[in-house]
């Protein structure tokens, strides 16, 4: 009992430090890595008090509990090491996949591919601009992930709307649209990617089930915004025109196409998704090296007497390693709690007190406060339904879109908060209720359709 309490205490303390990272001025990757190391070390040191262990049965191939009181000390350590390696491998699959996707997006940006998106916007009417920007964000986030889509669209509207007071309203809708767009795609959000790679959902079934609820999640606030005074009239100033470089649209199409190809490759070959992502990255890298008219290399070379750097090397150096390490810490910590049976026991208690539909719906509200990655990681250990069960699709929707209700509830919101200096209270006062109505509209649609 004391060991269980200590393990849960480490997790909760680390979680609190992650929530208040801005106030404490400590990057969230630090407590995430610390609680990962401490949790697994506690299990190794205190494993004599563990009576059950969740691991894969080598005979049946299914995940089940082992009664550890039947094992001697050496068997316990061997089981611990094999389980740790198993979870590290599963986590590494997700991280390698994300790194590949991030690198492709950076290569698109390197060749100014996203400037093509800006040239689609030609109106100065506020309400038309809001709909165009929101639907562009919704579509783009399903492919290049919601965080990147948020950064791209905020960068674009900065050139269109010079007045900060006007612009932050559009930024708020970009957050809602980005999270809604990421929820229905297996490559649109970290949490949906986790569910897809863990074979809880299939790519086509996820899209088919969640595209309508996710679309209603952003359409509901947009319809209500059409009657708001702040979106009446035209924007102040002229839309700035960019001179788009030749070939930028081709780079965008190729990059987006290669990312979309990943689920197709998985379906055709039945290989893990990260292999398809590495294939797409390889093709994008070859194209990038050829486009830059240089010898194919991933290192700096001398060209015309100057040191030149490969665009692929530049792209790799710009991916967010702190985010990768944060996911490593969170996912491995949750894996520690799962292996000791704590999450499984909590899931049994939840199922006895309320339905899975009610519980997952509440996870959406929780994701507005807590990071959705550990919420989804923990929830995956609570339910044992088969692939494409309703609970997995609802979990993808709830965790992906629920974060829009508070600006700190999603990575897209936090980034927008920093880029546009939006206060927590302003978002709470002006956009939380709209995001809440969108979330509920999607939940109702999901319930009716399923």
Q: pLDDT tens-digit profile of 24-46?
A: 778 878 888 999 999 888 887 76
Is residue 136 situated within a structural domain?
A: yes
Contact 332, 91 (CB under 8 A): yes
> Do 143 and 262 touch, CB atoms closer than 8 A?
no
Q: Where do runs of H (alpha helix) occur along 111-185? A: 115-118, 126-144, 146-160, 164-183
Residue 351 included in any domain: no
Burial environment of residue 63 by CB neighbours within 10 A (0 to 12, 13 to 18, 19 or more): middle
Q: pLDDT exceeding 90 applies to what percent of the chain?
A: 20
Instruction: For the chain, give the longest Cα–Cα distance.
Output: 75
Domain membership of residue 423 (yes or no) is: no
Domain membership of residue 305 as a residue range = 96-318
Which single residue is written with the structure tokens 């649609």? Answer: 445
Q: How far apart are CA 344 and CA 394, in angstroms?
A: 19
Model pLDDT, residue 43: 82
- Cα 19 from Cα 24, distance rounded (Å): 10
Query: Please, are residues 416 and 152 in contact by the beta-carbon 8 Å criterion?
Result: no
Q: Which long-range contacts (CB under 8 A, 24 or more apart) does 291-296 make?
A: 291/111, 291/247, 291/251
Residues listed for the chain: 450
- Could you give the C-alpha distances from 347 to 355, 384, 396, 424, in angstroms and in order? 11, 10, 17, 32
Q: Any idea of the CA torsion for 99, 208, 217, 389, to the nearest 10 degrees?
A: -80
* Tokens encoding 72: 């001697």
340 is a domain residue: no
The pLDDT of residue 307: 47
pLDDT at 15 over 60: yes
Cα distance between residue 11 and residue 27, in whole Å: 16
Pick the more confident residue, 62 or 29: 29
Copy the structure tokens of residue 261: 């190809």
Is residue 419 a part of any domain in this protein? no
Query: How many domains are there within the chain?
Result: 1
Q: Which residues make Cβ contacts (< 8 Å) with residue 376, sequence separation at least 6? A: 191, 194, 195, 395, 399
The CA distances from residue 324 to 92, 97, 432, 442, in Å, are 10, 11, 29, 30
Residue 221 in any domain: the answer is: yes
Burial state string for 400-416 with b = 16 or more CB within 10 A and e = fewer than 16: bbbbbbbbbbbbbbbbb
Instruction: Lowest mean pLDDT of 135-144, 158-167, 308-317, name the range.
Output: 308-317
Asked whether residue 139 is assigned to any structural domain, the reply reads yes
397, containing H or E segment: helix 390-401
Q: Which of 331, 44, 12 is nearest to 53 (CA)?
A: 44
> Is a pLDDT exceeding 50 seen at residue 58?
no
The confidence score (pLDDT) of residue 214 equals 95
Tell me what the mean pLDDT of segment 278-291 comes to: 90
Task: Indicate whether 104 belongs to any domain.
Answer: yes
**pLDDT at position 60, please?**
44
SS3 372: helix
Average pLDDT over residues 271-292: 88
């Amino acid at each position: 009992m004391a060991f269980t309490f200590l393990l849960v205490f480490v997790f909760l303390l680390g979680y609190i430090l992650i929530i208040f990272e801005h106030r404490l001025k400590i990057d969230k990757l630090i407590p995430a890595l610390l609680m990962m190391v401490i949790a697994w070390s506690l299990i190794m040191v205190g494993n004599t008090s563990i009576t059950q262990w969740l691991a894969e049965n080598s005979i049946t191939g299914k995940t089940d509990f082992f009664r550890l009181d039947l094992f001697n000390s050496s068997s316990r350590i061997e089981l611990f090491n094999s389980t740790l390696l198993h979870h590290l491998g599963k986590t590494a699959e997700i991280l390698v996949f994300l790194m590949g996707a991030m690198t492709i997006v950076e290569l698109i940006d390197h060749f100014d591919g996203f400037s093509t998106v800006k040239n689609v916007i030609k109106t100065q009417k506020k309400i038309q601009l809001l709909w165009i920007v929101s639907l562009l964000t919704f579509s783009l986030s399903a492919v290049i992930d919601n965080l990147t889509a948020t950064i791209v669209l905020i960068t674009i509207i900065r050139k269109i709307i010079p007045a900060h007071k006007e612009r932050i309203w559009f930024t708020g809708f970009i957050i809602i649209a980005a999270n809604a767009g990421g929820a229905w795609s297996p490559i649109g959000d970290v949490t949906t990617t986790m569910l897809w790679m863990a074979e809880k959902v299939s790519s086509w079934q996820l899209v088919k089930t969640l595209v309508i609820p996710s679309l209603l999640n952003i359409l509901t606030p947009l319809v209500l915004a059409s009657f708001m005074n702040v979106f009446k009239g035209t924007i102040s100033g002229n839309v700035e025109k960019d001179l788009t470089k030749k070939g930028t649209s081709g780079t965008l199409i190729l990059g987006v196409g290669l990312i979309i190809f990943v689920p197709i490759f998985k379906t055709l070959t039945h290989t893990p998704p990260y292999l398809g992502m590495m294939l797409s990255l390889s093709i994008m890298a070859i194209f990038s090296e050829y486009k830059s008219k240089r010898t194919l290399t991933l290192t700096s070379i001398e060209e015309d007497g100057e040191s030149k750097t490969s665009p692929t090397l530049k792209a790799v150096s710009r991916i967010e390693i702190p985010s990768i390490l944060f996911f490593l810490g969170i996912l491995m910590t949750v894996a520690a709690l799962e292996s000791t049976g704590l999450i499984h026991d909590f899931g049994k208690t939840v199922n006895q007190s309320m339905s899975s539909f009610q519980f997952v719906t509440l996870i959406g509200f929780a994701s507005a406060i807590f990071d959705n990655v550990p919420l989804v990681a923990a929830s995956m250990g609570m339910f044992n339904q088969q692939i494409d069960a309703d609970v997995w699709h609802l979990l993808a929707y709830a965790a992906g879109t629920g974060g829009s209700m508070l600006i700190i509830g999603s990575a897209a919101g936090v980034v927008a908060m920093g880029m546009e200096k939006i206060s927590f209270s302003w978002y709470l006062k002006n956009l939380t209720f709209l995001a809440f109505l969108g979330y509920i509209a999607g939940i109702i649609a999901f319930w009716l359709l399923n």
